[in-house]
Structure 1
């Protein structure tokens, strides 16, 4: 079963799983940075949709049709008119170059099968000077913490295709982005990273 199928399978209970996550309280502050034309990467069931200003225009993408169906229900329930959804793989986006002012990623690049390739696609579709606002968990610089993360990753990879030990900040830089801000929220496992397209 590939990652897409795994997320389709858990779509019915994903919102309940999300509510147990301690990082949810940081979503609102992250999305407050957005402006203009926004790309949300891995929109999932729509955990972020209520945090966007009505002044922005949001395109949310996800590779799981069943997760997107949940997000669509949430958009209709909340009468949101400035967010549209598209089924799309981050690694192969159909948008033209320089299409978006900024992008949002909340715990997405732990799951993208080829994360650097996906990040390069994000770089491509952003306008020069555009920023990506990341809330991501990743490998720690503390080897003791990494032992725990490695053990957790065995289960998360099996059930969701999610890695707990990705070097996500390094991957962001490999894709060409300049890190302009970093905040460690839980030791250095959970981080807010603001990255900019420099050219």
Structure 2
């Protein structure tokens, strides 16, 4: 647990530094990701939690009638998101780590996250927290990149993963479906978006 906490603090510091330039650095990738993020947001219903909101790049995709609680473990990211969207009345921002929140059980109808769990130190812990705070029968939707099981691509991302962790603080070879199963979810659908690397995971939360 101490190692995971140290990893969390290291990643938090890195993303606090990135927050100043994050939108600029990520803008080329948004050309690829934007259509998938729209599909993610289509699942938003009633009282929504967005985990790992970053600087709020998804916020304008939400319909105005959706109530959004947006969290991120980087204080720098949250501060920037608040400045960008201070006029929106249907959203609140909080500096909270999805691995350990203070929300009550069954607080949300839908929980969404896009490219978040590649940088969460304890993937399963974060998912179990989602399971706790999502209502029974609610939806947890994850847009993630995941390890490709093809021999060449799998070995390639395994080889590159230490470099990505060092430079960017995230993993590119996580076995996302297995981690979701290890968090005791059973109703899991997945949609391949590109090369079995980028996937949308649709989880129905049965407690």
**Is residue 50–residue 112 contact of structure 2 (8 Å, CA) maintained in 1?**
yes
Gap change, CA 1:46 and 1:187, over 3 Å in 2: same
1:60 matched to 2:70? The reply is yes
In the alignment, what sits opposite 1:70?
Answer: 80
Give unpaired runs (5+ residues) of structure 1: none
Q: TM-score, normalised by structure 1?
A: 0.94
C-alpha deviation, 1:151, in angstroms = 3.4
In the alignment, what sits opposite 1:37?
Answer: 47
CA distance in structure 2 between the partners assigned to 1:73 and 1:152 by the alignment: 35
**Is residue 173–residue 179 contact of structure 1 (8 Å, CA) maintained in 2?**
no
Within 5 A, what are the aligned runs for 1:1-199?
2-21=10-29, 22-76=32-86, 79-199=87-207
The runs of at least 4 consecutive aligned structure 1 residues that moved more than 6 Å come to none
C-alpha deviation, 1:30, in angstroms = 1.2
What secondary structure does 2:63 align onto? coil
**Is residue 43–residue 61 contact of structure 1 (8 Å, CA) maintained in 2?**
yes
Give unpaired runs (5+ residues) of structure 2: 1-8
C-alpha deviation, 1:152, in angstroms = 3.2
CA distance in structure 1 between the partners assigned to 2:197 and 2:91 by the alignment: 30
Q: TM-score, normalised by structure 2?
A: 0.91
C-alpha deviation, 1:179, in angstroms = 3.8
When the two structures are aligned, how many residues end up with a matched partner? 197
What secondary structure does 1:121 align onto? helix
Mean CA deviation greater in 104-113 or 79-88 = 79-88
CA distance in structure 2 between the partners assigned to 1:143 and 1:60 by the alignment: 38
Which deviations, in whole Å up to 9, do the C-alpha atoms of 1:28-61 show, x marking residues without a partner? 1210111110010100010110011111111011
